[in-house]
């Protein structure tokens, strides 16, 4: 598939679509966890080989996103890292208040 996209000149477009999907993935996971889904905001800071995703939620929902002993946040980061491996990018999730 990768070769076909490269031949057609669509490799860069496919990468951009996958990055948008990663942002949507984080947003979907966060919105399903919190009480105020309308306050979930995901921003992406792209730095070449590294993509930093900043997740902002309502102050009252931070505990739900982080989870007990950080297990929920760790799981979200693991999923993000696995998705980033397909893009050959290092992905970082920062949870901001």
Query: Is the residue at 82 inside a domain?
Result: yes
* 57 vs 60: CA distance, rounded Å: 8
* pLDDT tens, position by position, 39-91: 999 999 888 789 899 999 999 999 999 999 999 999 999 999 988 887 788 99
SS3 string, 21-82, reads HHHHHHHHHHHHHCCCHHHCEEEEEEECCEEEEEEECCHHHHHHHHCHHHHHHHHHHHHHHH
CATH number at residue 76: 3.30.300.20
Residue 49 sits in which domain range?
18-96
Which residue in the block uniquely carries the two structure tokens 């669509």?
Answer: 10
Residue 18 pLDDT grade (very low, low, confident, very high; cuts 50, 70, 90): low
Query: Is the residue at 91 inside a domain?
Result: yes
Query: Is the residue at 85 inside a domain?
Result: yes
Query: Is the residue at 3 inside a domain?
Result: no
Query: Is the residue at 12 inside a domain?
Result: no
Q: How many domains does the chain have?
A: 1
Query: Is the residue at 42 inside a domain?
Result: yes
């Amino acid at each position: 598939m990768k070769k076909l996209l490269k031949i057609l000149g669509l490799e860069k477009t496919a990468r951009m679509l996958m990055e948008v999907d990663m942002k949507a993935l984080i947003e979907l996971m966060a919105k399903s966890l919190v009480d105020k889904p309308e306050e979930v905001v995901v921003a992406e800071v792209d730095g070449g080989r590294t993509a930093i995703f900043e997740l902002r939620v309502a102050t009252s929902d931070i505990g739900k996103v982080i989870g007990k002993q950080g297990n929920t946040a760790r799981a979200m980061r693991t999923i993000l890292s696995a998705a980033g491996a397909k893009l050959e990018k290092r992905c970082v999730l920062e949870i901001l208040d």
